[in-house]
């Protein structure tokens, strides 16, 4: 453990009462994490819909 790491933990602990990263994020960081999670979910849903459309198109041709 380096002195820098220890100083970071002390600083975080004094601000939020915790040294856990998730408890010391800025609102912008939390928003970015939420937006990335939402984007991942939407991409997955979009892929599923594309596959379903392909399957339905094949069934209507037969």
State residue 13's pLDDT score. Answer: 81
- Give the per-residue pLDDT at 62: 66
Q: Where are the domains of the chain?
A: 3-61
More confident residue, 9 or 2: 2
Segment 46-62 mean pLDDT: 91
Structure tokens at 43: 């991409």
Which tens digits make up the pLDDT trace of 6-39? Answer: 888 788 788 778 777 778 888 999 999 999 999 9
3: tokens are 């002195």
Q: What is the pLDDT of residue 33?
A: 97
Cβ partners under 8 Å of residue 33, min gap 6: 25
Any idea what the Cα angle at residue 59 is, between residues 49 and 50, rounded to 5°?
Answer: 15
């Amino acid at each position: 453990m380096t002195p820098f790491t220890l100083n970071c933990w002390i600083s975080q602990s004094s601000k939020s009462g915790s040294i856990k990263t998730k408890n010391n994020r800025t609102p912008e960081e939390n928003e970015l994490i939420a937006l990335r999670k939402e984007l991942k979910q939407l991409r997955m849903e979009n892929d599923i819909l594309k596959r379903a459309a392909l399957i339905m198109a094949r069934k209507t041709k037969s």
